[in-house]
Structure formats: structure tokens, C-alpha cells
């Protein structure tokens, strides 16, 4: 692992003015209004600083939303929804296509902003913005495929149809680790389905919220559409709570911790709203005795170290067959030593900073807890002396029964454990409260089909010979158990953003009843 300290040449964390010039191109200045309400930028809440996690220096200031700003925004959004839902779906798809093109023109600037403000390395920052562009492309095609169905009726001269209509307003609450991609999973589909969108970005990534909104707002304005179709707020828990409580918002999509998500779910359920939850993951990679070890090691490195372990799909548990345990572990330690830690905007960096100083403190407390429960640190385990929130990528040998293994530590910490049989490995995979992603490395078809079958992984994402992270947008993304059960992005996830109606039409002159009932 490449060392980094405040005095070392590798510590190139001071950004000059030239590095901030790209912010102007995406509409970010030294001070910013953080609410896009009825086509106008405003903000009457607290003033907060966006902080660069690489050196903990402020980037810019943002005026957050007040509850009054929220109320103005939601009222305008409700009115704009009446216009938007009446526009034919393929025409709505054309607007989303233009949003995708607008994002393409600013791909590298937006990706750089993601890296600067969130802390993930530049290839991942650019990849995150590309993910929204891909979602736009997917949604454009979807806009011509929001198909209902014709159902045979048991009654003569009757026709049964199934139709889909917009819900109205979709509330989207996103987290810091994917500050714009998760918006894309939700907003692109919600918009083509005929819904308006109310977005609350993460409190610690307000500049990304502003830059994304300005691009979307520009497309709406160019097409003479109400800006309130896409309403956004920079703000804290009070704005999130307002969205959860608001009966004008039929569906709330929440991404974040299980604790916060459970509160959102309970609040939304109390008003009979719908909830789409994407919460914690505690993901395992299983390496069988017949696996391609080099393929597995490369996959584990990306899954455990990528985004500094701050993905919900990060590999946190590595389950190795006893016969190859030492071989895989030795090879993994070799590649961990080659991980370059440093400036996320610098070419070659594989591990950037944790997002906040609090995240770094949580890492310290997590390591202490791991040691107290018998965990053996075999590499890493320390913070790095620097101005930023840097920690060492860490591998821990520990018992699968340790309580700490059941929890999600949002940092590059990997637990390594042995198993003897496939049955034992699957039981270990399924033993945690979370159920998002999982992967197995094997060449045997019988193992693959057991793994993806009813007695295999209990996760929403069940991979073979690839990492637990890096999902494609074409499949439905989401997990089971404490992960929340939500599904976003591809497949038929669009159905969550619409209301289904079963329509029976009698085109005859008689009134036959179903089930052969004779009523008088």
C-alpha cells in the first residue's frame, strides 16, 4: 500500500484556482442558492459549506432550504404535475433524451465535481455521471413501452384491460456515496412515467445537487415546460421528514442507512404512501476451491477498496474455501500493497479519502470494536496522517460469529473467513441482517445453479465470477431483508412509479356476473 502523509510528495492535495474553473461551466459559484423552486433559485435556510474530503477545506457555500422554501416548491410541483402527466409518454421520453445529451456535454466536469466533493476517484466519478446518461437512454426506450395488457374475460361481451398511469409526484432522497447516480435511477424513469420529481440531495454534497439541477432545469426551460416539474432542495433531515410526511407525494424513494430508512418507511406508511428503500448492505464473496484465483483476487480488490468501501454493494466479507484460504490471502495481501492512496483526481489513485471526518472517526471506532471481538488485523487498520480523511485499506481475520461481522462499517475493511462446504458458505452468506449483493467464484455449473436457486443466496443481487459491486442499469437493483426490498433502475422497476388499473368494459346489453352469480 502506497503511504501518504502531509509531508510526502504523494500528498498533492492543495487545489489551485485553475482546478475550480470547471465549476463555472456547470453553474457553481463561491456562494449558491440551494433550492430550485418553481423555476427560480432561492434559499432561506442555513448557510453550509461544501467541504473537499481530500483536505477538509471548503469549496463553496450553499444556502439550504427552509420549510417555507419546501412548501413553495411542493405547491408549484403539484401544479406542474397536472401539465406533465398529460404530455404523451414518448414526448416525455424526448425531454429525458435531451437531459441525457446535456449531461454528455458536461460528463467530465460533473465527474470531476463528484470526485472533488464526494471523494471517490475520478474514473468512478465520471462513471457515476455516465450511469445517469445510460439511465436516460434506457428511459427513452421505455417511454414507448409502458404497456398494459388485455386479459380474457369469463363474461360474454366483456373486455378486461390493465392500464398504467402516473402516480403524480415522486420524492427522491439520495445519499452522499452516489450523489447523482441514484437520482438518475429514479428520476429518469419517474419522468417518462409522467411524474414530477422532488429531490433532496445529500447534505454533504450540495454542489452536485445544484449542478445536476441546473442541467435538468435548462432542458425544461428550453422546451417551455414548467421548471417545477423538477424541484430540488439542498437541506438536512427536516426537508427529508417533510417529504416523508407529505401526502402530496405518493412515492418516496430513500437511499441511506437502515436506521434512517426505517424511520422514513414508518412515516410514509402511516399516511398510506409507497416507499422504495435502498439501505445497508453486508455483502459476501465466496471463493470455491475450483475458482480462478486471479479473477477472484482482482474482483475482491475492486469490491472491497473501490469508493473507499463506501458503496452499499462493497464486499465486506470474503469467504474462502479452506483448501485455498492461504493462497488467496497471500495473493490479496500482495495486491493491497500496490494500492495507491491519495488525491482522487490524480491519475493512478485507487483509494481516495473517506467522505467526512466523522467517517474517519467511525473507522477508528470500528477497528477498536473489531479488535475487542477477536479480530486480527493482517494489513491496514490505521488512519493516515494527512489533512484529509484517509485510512488504510484493511483486511481482518475474524470469526463469522462475531457480532461486528453482522454490522456494516462504511469503510475499506474486509473480513476474511474459512468454510468447508458450499452449504456452509451459503449459510454464512445468508447469516447477516442485510441482503443486498453477493457473489460466488466457481467453474462448476451445479454450484452456480444451487447458488442462484431457492436454497442459495438470499440477496437481491446474486452474481457469479464478478464482484458484488458495479451493477449494470439494465437489471433491477435492490436487496432483501434490512436492505429494504426496493428495486430501482432496469427490468420492470418502472411499475413502482405508476398506478395500475384493472378496467372491465361491458359492451353488451346484458349484465352477467362473475363467478356465475345470479343476483335476482
Gap between the Cα atoms of 205 and 378, Å rounded: 34
- For the chain, the farthest-separated pair of C-alpha atoms sits apart, in whole angstroms, at 92
- Close Cβ partners of 257 (under 8 Å, ≥ 6 residues apart): 279, 280
Chain length of the chain = 520
Are 161 and 503 spatial neighbours (Cβ–Cβ below 8 Å)? Answer: yes
**Inter-residue contact 89 to 143 (CB < 8 Å):** yes
Report how far residue 420's alpha carbon sits from residue 252's, in angstroms, rounded to the nearest whole number: 43
Cβ pair 481, 434 in contact under 8 A: yes
* Annotated catalytic residue 312: yes
Q: Which three cell numbers stand for residue 90?
A: 414518448
Closest CA to 237 of 257, 216, 217: 257
Q: What is the β-pairing status of strands 413-419 and 315-321?
A: parallel
Q: Catalytic one among 117, 278, 408, 488?
A: 278
| Residue 463 · residue 490 · CB < 8 Å | no
Compute φ and ψ for 114, nearest 5 degrees. Answer: -60, -45
Q: Catalytic residue among 35, 136, 275, 312, which?
A: 312
Q: Kindly give the residue spans of alpha helices, DSSP state H, lying in 342-434.
A: 357-372, 422-429
Is 128 among the residues known to form the active site? Answer: no
Classify 409 as helix, strand or coil.
Answer: coil
Comparing C-alpha atoms, which of 505, 497, 516, 513 is closest to residue 139?
497
Distance CA(430)–CA(424), nearest Å, equals 10
**Could you give the residue numbers annotated as active site?**
278, 312
Amino acid at each position: 500500500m502506497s503511504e501518504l502523509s502531509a509531508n510526502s510528495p504523494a500528498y498533492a492535495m492543495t487545489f489551485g484556482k485553475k482546478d475550480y474553473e470547471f465549476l463555472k461551466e456547470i453553474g457553481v459559484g463561491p456562494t449558491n442558492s440551494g433550492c430550485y423552486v418553481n423555476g427560480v433559485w432561492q434559499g432561506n435556510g442555513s448557510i453550509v459549506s461544501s467541504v473537499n474530503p481530500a483536505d477538509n477545506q471548503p469549496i463553496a457555500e450553499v444556502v439550504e432550504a427552509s420549510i417555507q422554501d419546501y412548501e413553495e416548491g411542493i405547491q408549484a410541483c403539484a401544479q406542474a404535475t397536472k401539465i406533465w402527466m398529460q404530455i404523451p409518454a414518448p414526448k416525455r421520453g424526448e425531454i429525458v433524451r435531451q437531459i441525457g445529451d446535456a449531461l454528455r456535454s458536461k460528463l467530465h466536469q460533473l465527474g470531476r465535481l463528484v470526485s472533488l466533493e464526494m471523494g471517490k476517484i475520478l474514473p468512478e466519478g465520471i462513471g457515476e455521471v455516465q450511469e445517469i446518461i445510460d439511465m436516460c437512454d434506457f428511459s427513452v426506450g421505455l417511454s414507448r413501452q409502458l404497456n398494459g395488457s388485455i386479459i380474457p374475460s369469463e363474461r360474454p361481451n366483456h373486455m378486461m384491460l390493465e392500464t398504467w398511469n402516473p402516480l403524480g409526484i415522486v420524492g427522491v432522497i439520495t445519499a452522499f456515496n452516489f450523489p447523482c447516480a441514484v437520482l438518475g435511477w429514479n428520476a429518469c424513469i419517474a419522468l417518462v412515467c409522467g411524474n414530477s420529481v422532488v429531490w433532496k440531495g445529500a447534505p454533504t454534497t450540495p454542489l452536485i445537487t445544484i449542478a445536476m439541477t441546473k442541467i435538468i432545469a435548462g432542458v425544461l426551460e428550453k422546451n417551455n415546460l414548467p421548471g417545477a416539474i423538477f424541484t430540488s432542495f439542498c437541506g438536512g433531515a427536516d426537508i427529508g421528514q417533510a417529504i416523508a410526511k407529505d401526502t402530496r407525494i405518493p412515492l418516496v424513494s430513500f437511499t441511506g442507512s437502515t436506521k434512517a430508512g426505517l424511520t422514513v418507511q414508518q412515516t410514509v406508511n402511516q399516511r398510506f404512501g409507497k416507499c422504495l428503500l435502498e439501505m445497508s448492505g453486508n455483502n459476501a464473496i465466496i471463493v470455491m476451491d475450483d475458482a480462478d484465483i486471479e479473477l477472484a483476487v482482482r474482483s475482491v480488490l475492486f469490491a472491497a477498496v473501490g469508493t473507499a468501501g463506501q458503496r452499499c454493494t462493497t464486499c465486506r466479507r470474503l469467504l474462502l474455501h479452506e483448501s485455498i484460504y492461504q493462497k488467496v490471502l497471500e495473493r490479496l495481501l500482495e495486491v493491497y500493497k500496490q494500492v495507491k492512496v491519495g488525491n482522487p483526481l490524480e491519475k493512478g489513485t485507487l483509494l481516495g479519502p473517506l467522505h467526512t471526518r466523522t467517517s474517519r472517526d467511525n473507522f477508528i471506532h470500528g477497528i477498536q470494536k473489531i479488535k475487542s471481538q477477536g479480530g486480527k488485523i493482517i494489513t491496514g487498520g490505521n488512519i493516515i496522517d494527512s489533512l484529509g480523511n484517509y485510512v488504510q485499506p484493511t483486511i481482518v481475520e475474524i470469526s463469522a460469529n462475531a457480532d461486528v461481522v453482522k454490522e456494516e462499517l462504511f469503510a475499506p475493511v474486509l473480513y476474511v473467513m474459512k468454510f468447508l462446504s458450499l452449504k456452509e458458505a451459503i449459510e454464512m452468506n445468508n447469516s447477516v441482517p442485510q441482503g443486498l449483493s453477493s457473489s460466488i467464484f466457481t467453474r462448476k455449473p451445479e454450484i452456480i445453479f444451487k447458488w442462484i436457486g431457492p436454497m442459495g443466496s438470499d440477496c437481491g443481487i446474486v452474481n457469479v465470477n464478478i464482484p458484488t459491486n458495479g451493477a449494470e442499469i439494465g437489471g433491477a437493483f435492490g436487496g432483501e431483508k434490512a436492505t429494504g426490498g426496493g428495486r430501482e433502475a432496469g427490468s420492470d422497476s418502472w411499475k413502482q412509479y405508476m398506478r395500475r388499473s384493472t378496467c372491465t368494459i361491458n359492451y353488451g346489453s346484458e349484465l352477467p356476473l362473475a363467478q356465475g352469480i345470479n343476483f335476482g
